[in-house]
Amino acid sequence: MKRILLRTLVIAVLTVNLLAWLVGHYSDVDIGPAFRVALIFGILFIAAIFTGAAMMVGALDKETRDQDPD
């Protein structure tokens, strides 16, 4: 999970900064650093939630059903 979140952090930082630069270059809108950090953390938290959910579903797939409950 650490690797996935680290990759997500790096990709989010690069993507958000690239998009902010493109918006600033092609329009008069300047995206502030605080908003960029909020976007990056938002992407990171969403990835953490989905990664955790996928890991829990994967763990449930590995469980076997007990045929005799007694």
Binned at pLDDT 50, 70 and 90, residue 65 comes out as low
pLDDT of residue 70: 58
From the list 6, 2, 9, the residue with the least C-alpha distance to 40 is: 9
Alpha helices in 1-70 (DSSP H): 2-26, 33-62
Q: Is the pLDDT of residue 25 over 70?
A: yes
